Amino acid sequence: MNDNVVPLHRGETPREPSLAPMLGLTASAMNAVNAVILDKMQSEIPLIPALAGHLISGGGKRMRPMLTLAGAELVGYHGTRHHKLAAAVEFIHTATLLHDDVVDGSETRRGRQTANIVFGNPATVLVGDFLFSRSFELMVEDGSLKVLKILSSASAIIAQGEVDQLTAQREIETSEDRYLHIIGAKTAALFAAASRIAAVVAERDEAEERALDDYGRNLGIAFQLVDDAIDYDSDAASMGKDQGDDFREGKMTLPVILAYARGNEEERRFWRDAIAGFRTEDSDLAHAVNLIRGHDALNATRERARHYAERAIAALSIFPDGKARAAMTEAALFAVSRGY
Amino acid sequence: MNDNVVPLHRGETPREPSLAPMLGLTASAMNAVNAVILDKMQSEIPLIPALAGHLISGGGKRMRPMLTLAGAELVGYHGTRHHKLAAAVEFIHTATLLHDDVVDGSETRRGRQTANIVFGNPATVLVGDFLFSRSFELMVEDGSLKVLKILSSASAIIAQGEVDQLTAQREIETSEDRYLHIIGAKTAALFAAASRIAAVVAERDEAEERALDDYGRNLGIAFQLVDDAIDYDSDAASMGKDQGDDFREGKMTLPVILAYARGNEEERRFWRDAIAGFRTEDSDLAHAVNLIRGHDALNATRERARHYAERAIAALSIFPDGKARAAMTEAALFAVSRGY
């Protein structure tokens, strides 16, 4: 149990925050988005839908398109343009995941073999490129230069964040600031863009665009922080992410940055060796988890996440109360509490 | 010597076709394009310009942006929008090359080590993604939805062509039709788009757009056919492409398709083994070159290229005579004769 309980109305029972209201809010529109995704991942080359479908039907949360759909509800948009654009957002994300798995040599994702393992690196790189191109075709079909600007800029920022992360890999002296800069680019930029475009299709003013951008960006940082905590949290093996991947790849995430900063000289020596790639046994991972817990670095990481979730929630304050805002508020609380 | 001589005006000496008139026609605009390329490949992440610059400054012909610039001259466009768009075209091409080299595991390109060898596959994939995103940012800055549609569609077709080529790899029964379909996608689509957008920025009519598209598409096929011939032409080692790469990778290109079709049973057995990957020695490559020459398959491939070059030249017939048309005509003849 943690203290992320959902704000109560009189007479309600306290409960853990959940994504259920957000899923409910967007369920019907998500069916339309899924239909676009299914349609647009087709190609005369059978390997393309086979490979793309392996990941796309692999049980992702569709978090990013969900933000577009929830944002559209929040601003009272009644059209259908956002279906195509939410699919474009998911394609950008899927392309990134495919390339990430090649870059990291990952073997499982969401509890299944990765596409690079099933179909090989070459096909995985190229199908990522296809989905990326397709996402721009979808945006062009929609026809908003403003949306194209937001999403092409987000894509360039994501790629830079990924390269930056690669540069920081195995660099024990990576600072918390640099880490936040990296996750702001590789993760939060697309969360922000996905949310913001809802205000654009609804033709709301700059203040609402910015508010949705702030919501998505802070939510994205909270999500990534908690993802990075979960990678060292053995009770969360059921999350479907390969536990200990970050450790073996020498990725500098906040739990490690904090444990290293708070460690004594012997512990810091361990971290230097581990991040440099000289300690990759299960017993090393177990030791790393113990050090991280001993310094309360998982809770501290979640505390940082709570801070960003609160900023995400605060960004919604300019919008009227209602189902959409409540669902988006609870989604931010869920981002912090999940995996506990 | 071959019979691709440049059409003569009275009193001129016959000469081999050259890219020089095209280079001269576009030289000053290409300086502007290179400035955009240099500016837009920058990033706060130093690895990005280092890796991108390795390939971009590696002495490519800038053939695709040159088509945009030459097309603009042909239709008498006097603005500067095409500089940015030509840079976008080159970024798409560069991203494709970076990913190609990862996919093929290539070690040299244009006589230098490939980026994947110098910087590793992960960074190469991600910088390719960055350049691809950047190309869309450039198009968005220009602001033409029509150009965005042409280039996003070309990008999706290229990716499909690359996947299709991957599927055909090591498939000895690949037909000439399928091969032409693949190179039409992976190479000619971007040549066509690069040419076409010149008519778009100049706001010329659909007929001129189509004519430039036809020119670029046919020229692209001619170029690729000759590239594929050069890979089996030992006199052309100075071209800077790894000779025999296609052979070792089991790529089904026209010289092989023709030699296989024209071979006796013993030769066909050799080709089946070679394309399947069981004959990768230098002596096997030498044998392959002999078989290809014995069946005159290099000349036949160049003959096919000449056919497409002639179609490219014919497509220009709707435009007035002049320096631009003459340079583009000679470029098509050069496409066929180069490497001889």
Residues in chain B whose Cβ is within 8 Å of chain A: 43-45, 47-48, 95-96, 99, 102-104, 121-123, 125-127, 129-130, 132-134, 136-137, 139-140, 143, 145, 148-149, 152-153, 155-156, 158-160, 162-164, 166-167
Assess if residue B4 is contained within a domain: no
Q: How far is B196 from B68, CA to CA, in rounded Å?
A: 7
Task: Return the number of other C-beta atoms located less than 10 Å from residue B321's C-beta.
Answer: 10
Alpha carbon B64 to chain centroid, angstroms: 8
ipTM for the whole complex:
0.94
Closest among A112, A141, A188, A190 to A36, alpha carbons compared: A141
Nearest to B134 by CA among A166, A136, A165: A136
| Rg of chain A, C-alpha, whole Å | 20
Dist. CA B212–CA B22, nearest whole Å: 15
What torsion, rounded to 10 degrees, do the Cα atoms A119, A121, A124, A130 define?
-130
* Predicted confidence pLDDT, tens digits, chain A (340 residues): 345 566 656 666 667 999 999 999 999 999 999 999 999 999 999 999 999 999 998 778 899 999 999 999 999 999 999 999 999 999 999 999 999 999 988 888 888 899 999 999 999 999 999 999 999 999 999 999 999 999 999 999 999 999 999 999 999 999 999 999 999 999 999 999 999 999 999 999 999 999 999 999 999 999 999 999 999 986 544 444 467 889 999 999 999 999 999 999 999 999 999 999 999 999 999 999 999 999 999 999 999 999 999 999 999 999 999 999 999 999 999 999 987 6
Which residue is closest to A134 within chain B, CA to CA? B156
Looking at the domain assignment, is residue A15 inside a domain? no
* Minimal-distance CA residue of chain A relative to B133: A156
pLDDT tens profile B323-333: 999 999 999 99
B310 is a domain residue: yes
Domain range holding B245?
20-337
The per-type count for chain B, helices as H runs and strands as E runs, is 16, 2
Helix ranges restricted to H, A185-294 = 189-201, 206-230, 245-248, 254-262, 265-276, 282-294
Asked whether residue B30 is assigned to any structural domain, the reply reads yes
Q: What is the pLDDT of residues B123-171, one digit of tens each?
A: 999 999 999 999 999 999 999 999 999 999 999 999 999 999 999 999 9
Please tell me which residue of chain B has the smallest CA distance to A99. B125
Q: How many distinct structural domains can be found in chain B?
A: 1
Q: Which of A44, A45, A167 sits opposite B47 (nearest CB)?
A: A167
Which residues in chain B come in under a pLDDT of 50? Answer: 1-2, 236-241
Q: Which residue in chain B has the smallest CA separation from A142?
A: B145
What pLDDT is recorded for position A278?
A: 96
Distance from CA of A115 to the nearest CA of B (A): 14
User: Within a domain: residue A160?
Assistant: yes
What does the pLDDT read at residue B306? 97
Q: Which residue in the set B45, B121, B163 is minimally distant from A167, CB to CB?
A: B45
Taking an 8 Å cut-off on Cβ atoms, the answer to whether B123 and A163 are in contact is yes
Q: Is residue A90 part of a domain?
A: yes
User: According to the model, what pLDDT value does residue B237 have?
Assistant: 44
Q: Amino acid letter at A70?
A: A
Phi, psi of B112 (to 5 degrees): -120, 165
CATH of the domain at B318: 1.10.600.10
Q: Does B5 fall in a domain?
A: no
pTM reported for the whole predicted model = 0.94
- Could you list the beta-strand ranges (E) of chain A: 108-109, 112-113
Residue A9 lies in a domain: no
Dihedrals phi, psi of A112, to nearest 5 degrees: -120, 165
Contacts A–B by Cβ distance under 8 A: 134
Q: Tell me, what's the pLDDT at A236?
A: 43
